Amino acid sequence: MASSRDLPIGVFDSGVGGLTVLRALRERLPAASFTYLGDTARLPYGTKSPGTVRRYAEQAAGVLIDRGVQALVIACNTASSAAVEHLQRRCAPIPVFGVIEPGAAAAVAASKRQEILVLATEGTVQGGAYERAIRALRPDAAVVSLPCPLFVAFAEEGWADGPIAEAVARRYIGPVLAEHPGIDTVVLGCTHFPVLRGAISVAAGPTRHLVDSAATTASEVFRRFGETLSGGISGDSRGEIRFLATDAPQRFARVGSVFLGEAIAPAAVELVDL
């Protein structure tokens, strides 16, 4: 019988954005296997109520647990905000990781002035999870949260860089930085946003530090469980990935390839129902 160490790591998101988290996890745990679930039938989560998002997250977690996983990663800022504590209690002893706490900790560590800008979806901004997480670590921190809904559409259309993406980033970020010139750290508080890192960096300017919530989450998973989770630091071969989607597997494969940084075959995406 296989031990829990041989099971895959479960990762879920409302769609393809969480594949940036999976990409970062693969870099830190290259021999580990993963099962990724994108709830593409019900995206976006960012416009849903917290109660609805919590219910969706519980259903997604249930599918992954039923298939057998050794850990769960909520690769969605909105779902992390609404459901991480709930799932940590409900899914114990399986460890559950969100993306907000690691991103908040990295922002506090990076910011010299403790003036931080969080770029996120409407749902994450309204939930206030980043502000709470940052101020739990630094009560004196000044946090500005900015919803950037067009970034999600741009990322999914593949318009990640170039003059149009940079113009939109400047339109979002420029007025905030003009009003709060002391901001020295910008959090990419949506898993879609690392795809637009170049455009966001241009708008933020060279002196501001960008915190990638996907990379910081992967670092946290590795820090806490790198020696015990399947795959460890290295292995003789790359671990396998199983892809699940609740709608449009062909589009998931096409758009998801951009986020994962490698090709996804449509035939490799299993259609599931929550």
- Annotated catalytic residues are 76, 190
> How many residues make up the chain in this entry?
274
Residue 236, C-beta contacts closer than 8 angstroms, at least 6 positions apart:
31
Residue 85 CB neighbours (<10 A):
13
- Alpha carbons 117 and 57: distance in angstroms, whole number: 27
Residue from 154, 117, 106, 156 nearest 256 by CA = 156
Question: Contact, 8 vs 69, CB < 8 A?
Answer: yes
Question: Contact, 243 vs 270, CB < 8 A?
Answer: yes
Residue 80, C-beta contacts closer than 8 angstroms, at least 6 positions apart:
74, 98, 99, 100, 129
Residue from 211, 204, 208 nearest 188 by CA = 211
- Alpha carbons 144 and 28: distance in angstroms, whole number: 30
Question: Contact, 47 vs 120, CB < 8 A?
Answer: no
Residue from 161, 148, 153 nearest 188 by CA = 148
Alpha-carbon Rg of the chain, whole angstroms? 18
Q: 138: part of which helix (H) or strand (E)?
A: none
- Alpha carbons 213 and 24: distance in angstroms, whole number: 10
